[in-house]
Structures are given as structure tokens and as C-alpha cells.
Amino acid sequence: MKILVVNCGSSSLKYEIYEMPSQQSLGKGLVERIGLPSGNLTQEYGSRVLHREQEIPNHRVAFEMMMEAILDKEQGILKSVSEIAGVGHRVVHGGEQYASSVLIDEQVMQAIEANCELAPLHNPANLTGIRESMAVSGDVPQVAVFDTAFHQTLPPSAFLYGIPYEMYGKYRIRRYGFHGTSHRYVSNVALQMMKRSVDNTNMITCHLGNGASITAIQRGRSIDTSMGFTPLEGLMMGTRCGDLDPSIIFYLVERGYDIQELNSILNKKSGLLGLSGISSDLRDLEASAAEGNERAIMALDTYAYRIRRYIGAYVANLIKVDFIVFTGGIGQNGVKMRHRICNRLENLGIHIDPQKNIDVGSKAGIISQPYSPITILVIPTNEELQIAIDAYDLINK
């Protein structure tokens, strides 16, 4: 059974095709610059690369372009559209309606649309992707996989804010959490790697990339996570500020900043970029720090400190922790950053092995000392594969 995985953004369309249940990726592609004068598609199939450039005025054209590339006689991935047994869609926000992935029907479409106000930059594009996919793939089953679903097991003590309760009831203001598909995927891989049962295993998963979040997982269920009502809360990130005293916003408004300007600053000009004044890319900052740049060193230390603070809080709440998992672009590839984070957590039973950390590099593996009570793992995430797994399971039911 072949599953097409779709991640539709406002100006891009990522896709990948999996053979299930073998979980083999057959090929993937990216359509960029939708709605702009010059768009392009790049598709990888084994060692072959297909590249096309043309104007892509809307998502309908993008989907048609994707299907033409997938079925290309010389460089395509499939011979016929009939080979696609299902389509799995990444959807950012499922609100409180969905705690798991679902087959898409009209009710699901309405729920995704209702949650557009909670994710105005993502849900409308995700919804467009679903509609256009239905238009080009006919009656093929469509599955929605929500970023927020995994965190619907948070207890009220973790998801409520200390504001009047009526605001939760009226405006749905609560912690939703994001990156749920990634946290779920790596937690399942960790159980398989370590041959552990979900029933007696707790872990902390660290998805560290340009966007970053940490999740406390107790017996397979998310019980706390760092991102909140939006992805702006929590860890300091590449360009996002993370946790912030709300009064800072009022203070800056009084000094002439408007809301839209502050929104841009906190989301796009803060974090590693804002503190360092150099870059949001960890590689650039590590290079500058090695040359003695004080602001680069300060930004890296602050990033690691914020992560340690969350790990410490989650260790306290979980009581027993079996694994710490690093994933995401920085978690998987940031060898120095992993060491920087773990180097001061020995009092919690987290002992990194510096040589193993170097040897594992960006591969999956154990980077903790043999005597470490808490095992430290590096696991590359694969959200596309998790979406394919969910779609396959639901369609087979």
C-alpha cells in the first residue's frame, strides 16, 4: 500500500510517498514559491532528481504539478495515480476536538476551519492542501495528523494558565503544545531501541531546531510540554523569544512600539538571532563562539540554560525518568550543544559520555555513560513517516 504524505504551507508544498507497511520512502518533493511569479518543483527519486520551473499561481496548480511529477514517465515515482491508497496531511491545530489522527470527513474539515483562528498562519494552508488533494486524488481516503493531538493528554494543571477561567471557556486560551507528531515518533523509536514497555517507561523528548520544544512523556502520554497557546512560548529558539514576562510587551507599547511590530520582533528577530546579532543558525554561532565572539557565547549559553531549566522541571514532575531524547536539526546534529546542555545535569542522574556524543554524531544512538541512571539518546525524527503510519493504520481499520 502506497501512502502520499502532504505538508501544505502558505507558499510551499512538501510531499513524500511511502510503501507501507515496510515504511520505505519511495521518493519526495518540494514545490516552492506558490503564488509568486517564478515557482519551482524539485523531486528526488533514488539517485534521480527532477526539477521544474514555472509560474505557480495557486495551490491547485501546485498539486497538479506534484501529480505530474509523481507520474512522470521517465523520472516519476509511480506509474499510476491508482497506486495511491491514501493521503496523510499534516495539520497544525486540532484544538480540543482531536487527541489522535482521524479520517477526514466534512465534520473534520469544519473543525480544522474553526481552529484557523488558533493557527492563522498554518491551518488555512493545511485546509487548502486537503481540498486540493481531494480535487486531484478523487475518492482516495484522506487522513489528518494534528501537531497538537499528542498533547491533548495534558492534565488541567499543565494546560491551564493563571488567568480568569472564563477566558479558557470563552476564547479557548490554554496550552496546546506543538511538534506532537515528532515527540510521538521519537518516543516510540526510543521504546523500540531500548526494548522497553510503554507501561513502565518515562522520558523527556527534546525537539530542538529553529523551532524548539520539550515534552514530558509518562507511560506514552504527554503530561507537559513547553510550547503553549502558540509556538512562541517555552524555549528560546532560532528567532523566537520563548518565555517572556508579559509586562515587557506593555512596557514597549508605552514606548511607541505597535502590536504588529512587536509580533514580528518576538517571532522573527529574537532568540539566538536577537541575542547574538549574528545568526539564528547554530552552526554560525558555534563558529563565532570558537573565535571568541562574546555575544555568540552568551546566546549559546542562554539557549542551553533554558533547556536545562525545562529538563529539571520535568524530571521533578515525572519523578522517574528513563530516557532523555534529542531530536530535530539541533538535537540531532548539534554535538557541542548536546554536551553543553547535559554537562550540568549530573545531579539529576544525566551523565553524558563526551566520546560517545562525538561518535554518534547525527546518527541514532546512546550518548550517555554506562553508569548514567538516565539514558541519553539521539534519534532523528521523521514526522512524514509517522503521518504515513497513522494514515496506513486508519485506512486499514
Interior/surface letters 89-109, b for 16+ CB within 10 angstroms, e for the rest:
bbbbbbbebbeebbebeeebb
In sequence order, the β-bridge partners of residue 305 are: none
Calculated CA dihedral for residues 253, 256, 257, 260, nearest 10 degrees: 90
Cell of 383: 514526522
User: Which stretches of 271-323 are DSSP H helices?
Assistant: 271-276, 282-290, 294-318
Residue 147 annotated in active site: yes
CB 273 within 8 A of CB 238: yes
- The span from the CA of 88 to the CA of 230, in Å, is 24
Q: Under DSSP, is residue 29 helix (H, G, I), strand (E, B) or coil?
A: strand
Strands 212-218 and 221-225 come out as antiparallel
Cell numbers describing residue 181: 507528531
Q: Is the dihedral of CA 100, 101, 106, 112 positive or negative?
A: positive
Residue located via cell numbers 503530561: 223
Strand order in the sheet with 48-54: 48-54, 39-45, 24-32, 12-19, 2-8, 84-91, 142-146, 102-103
Query: Which of 60, 43, 322, 286 lies closest to 198 in space, CA to CA?
Result: 322
User: What letter represents residue 277's amino acid?
Assistant: G
Are 13 and 35 contacting, i.e. CB atoms less than 8 angstroms apart?
no
Among residues 139, 147, 243, 258, the one annotated as catalytic is 147
Active site residues: 147
